[in-house]
Structure 1
Amino acid sequence: MHLNISKRLFIIVLFISFYQFTFAQNTEIEKNRPNLGSNDQTQNREAVDDSVKVSIFDLSVLNPYFNFKKKVYNKVGLNFDFDYNSLYMGSNSKMGEPMAAGGVFRFYGAWELIGRRSNNTGTFIFKLEHRHKYTTIPVIDLSMNMGNLGIFGVTFNNNRFRTTHLYWKQKLVKGRLILLAGFFDATDFFDIYALGSPWAHFNNLNFTTGLSATALPGDAYLGLTAGAWLTDHIYAIAGFGDQNSDPTLIFRGFETFTKYEFFKHAEIGYTSAKEYVFLDNIHLSIWHRDNNRELGTGWGWGMVFSATKYINKKWLPFFKASYTEKGESLLEAAVSTGIGYQPKPDGHQFGIGFSWGRPNADTFGQKLEDQYVIESFYRIQLSKRIAFTPGLMYIIKPAMNPMQNSIFLGSMRARFTL
């Protein structure tokens, strides 16, 4: 009975899609309208990768392949990519494992099936991955292993084969409204932030979505989300999804959805221009999560404030603050600030940030000392499709490490995309 409810929701979204299609063919196209969502949302990530203009080497030998991809898109509306990501992190930690490394292979794409060449497209979006460790522990476990309350390399786990995206995205009202239904990453549509990609920017979750002070669900849950441009400068996003969804057993989400143990979120934001929605952005995000009997976690709520400013097409200072009530997040409150610098648009990038965090006493059953983090990275575009990102991190007062007052880490991340 309850299973039919979730199926009906998908049918409703598909009905709207086909209804809109009848009007889409004669709609005047509004060019350069950005996709609401993070810069790691599949279509946005493809656009970011395609926009790279500054690199050390030009691998023109791959041009026939990319020309083939363009022909496929022009003929059938399918845009697809492969990438491989690798991350190594080493430290001077005297507790637990001092280093970890791992890799992620991804095949992802967006297939425009309805309303092509209009702003009211209906798109099937997919992302299949294989996440694996190289070392004793995966990178995602390194932080807690050394007694630091946080997460490094949040996407570098040991899930093996998984389905991260499998959803329908429908644009309506000349692209001003989007509806999503299916399996997707909640962080693609929550706390939109220019330097928040674990594939391209900071490694520490304290500088990405929610700042470790948000009880985020897994990054592939069954849900519904809607986003809208309320004006040319103001946008809103809201959605909910099943906390029990498992990307390694993707269709089990249809069963767990009817337990009604949801993560819910809403965001209101302002940007100076639509094309700068990631870069010139101020927003407030709020969230709530239900009790989760399967995971044994309690309810909670919180909020995130974020502000970034794009200056002279080079500088990107940011300020973020997050607070949670219960929810069993790692941190109860956190503040992060820093700056990104790109000498030329769409090229190499430097970033540095400082973060303060107060451990969540409700999660750990005791009051722990505040933690501080400094992290920097420099992404080097060897070619338009190959990037290396060395990084440094300094942790002050790791809350669960009685052996050290500070820990120093170095990292190297590589990404190759086709």
Structure 2
Amino acid sequence: MDQLNTDLVFLRNKLRKVSINEKLGYLKQEKGFSTRSIHAGQDPKQWKSGAIIPPIFTSVIYEQTVPRNMSDFFYSRINNPTRSVLQECLASIEGSKYALTFASGIAAITAVITTLSSGDGIICSKHFYSGTLDSMLIAEKMGFDVQYIDFTDLKQVEAAMKPNTRLVWTESCMNPTLSVIDIKSVATIVHKKSKNTIVLVDNTFLTPYYLRPLELGADIALYSLTKYFGGHSDVIGGSISCNDDKIYEMLKKSQFQTGTMAQPFESYLIIRSVKTLSIRLEKHAENSYAVAKWLEAHPKIGKVNHPALKSHPGHEIAIKQSYGHSGIFSFYLKEDNFEKTKKFFASLKMIPICTSLGGVETTVAFPREMSHHMYNDEEVYKMGVTYNLIRISIGIEDVEDIINDLEQALDLI
């Protein structure tokens, strides 16, 4: 038996394929992630039928043996068996004590904001996802003290902290410029100044497969499940993961009171997709790095914002805190010319122009005209959102086909 085990280990090591991210110097991915993404919360013995796939429980109400003698499930706005499976699975792959799922990423954002009180301070950045910025504008109207800083400058983080600061909101990679944030340093600065201030990291671009914010000192990891978790552009959802009992209870109460929870069918779709999250992300990463390297060498490209490239200013931080990078990055055409950028988009044949990301199909977006159209030129240029900036979400197609489509479009401008 010992010889058999030795032979199996030898064979496994010989056949093991080293991922592109390991080759690039990122942290080595821990074992067990894929297994947990398939099995966590999904023991067939919990269902009388023994179903391998968790059932979709559409029932809103559940029988009580006597009034107020309630089990875990009595009303689906509060709890639902299908949603509970998803939440247990997400907590497992995040390595967190708790996970809560919502109807969308924006619903998850709303839940966090509703735990605060008027007059509380929020620190975030204008370089963020436009949906987050929209939510911050609403927060300002509701009487919150919102400050906007550059999180790549840690001195600004420290200087922005005030006695009323209750929430520091950052992204693992800024959308759409792909600036990398040193999460551990941000969390250390904030918690040193105030133990009562929550550090939240929107980790949608990387997922817990490539970065786990709670390991780096963050209090909350927030996700749009619509993106890589769903992965097939057919479901909308959001989630929050945390370890702190008090934070969890506040968010759970908000989820119940605002009715922003994920529905059973959407929960089922995400459970299904999470099972393939790791293998999809490996392919996204492999393709995105190949495309980024190709673009970096192209004469009509000015700059490529991909953290795996050594030319990226945040490269060293990325490989120190991450297990890899996904399929999302951005790049600048050499000329800041609106008409040429529009012609590039119009010339693409396979790759569609879309506002979301993280699906199996490659898509492109024009941040200046799509997500950041409400800002004037002076504001967006400070953010790096110029007329020649293109955000691309690399899918899992054959990489040669992605490059060929980009090449023929670039040839026409």
Q: Aligning the two structures, in what range does the TM-score lie when normalised by the shorter sequence?
A: under 0.3
Give the strand-richer structure, 1 or 2: 1
Give the helix-richer structure, 1 or 2: 2
Question: Greater Rg, structure 1 or structure 2?
Answer: 2
TM-score normalized with structure 2 length = 0.25
TM-score normalized with structure 1 length = 0.25
Higher normalized contact order (CA 8 Å, seq sep 6+, divided by chain length):
2
